[in-house]
Amino acid sequence: MMVGEHFYIGKSARTNKDGIKQFISILNKYGLSGSEITLDEVLHLKSGVNYIENNNILVSGEFIDKKAFEKFNKTIVDTNETYTANCIWINETVIIPQSYPQIEKAIQDLGYKTINIDTSEFRKIDGGLSCLSLRF
């Protein structure tokens, strides 16, 4: 998860310490930095935390109290809407999964426009918006 010039890198069954160390080494060559975030409950970091710019993050589950995210303005995603923690910020607009009114209102209250996308078929295979996106 990129926040400015810093990357938060999830360590799970799918990413190990060696991979994280190598990635941070590459980042450092370009004047960027990175840090490891241990995942205990989810496979992907962005399944539970997403940066939506302007020091705002959406957090759910195990990420609510993680020390690494204490400096951010947190919008806590209710347990019945945890799937929406995985969203995408593009040019002051946050793309969110359709049919989650609580988090949509919370994001709008922060001053962002929102776009709802029907991800119901992708959700059946645990696919979130950031998993389905290529951005440059």
Which residue in the list 32, 76, 110, 131 is annotated as catalytic?
131
Instruction: Report how far residue 100's alpha carbon sits from residue 91's, in angstroms, rounded to the nearest whole number.
Output: 21
Residue among 8, 20, 39, 44 flagged as catalytic: 44
d(CA 23, CA 34): 8
Both tokens assigned to 55? 């020091």
Establish whether 87 is a catalytic residue: no
Q: What is the DSSP letter of 127?
A: -
C-alpha 26, offset from chain centre? 22
Distance CA 38, CA 61 (A): 13
CA 32 from chain centre, in angstroms, equals: 19
Tokens 């999964």 — which residue? 97
Enzyme catalytic residues: 44, 131
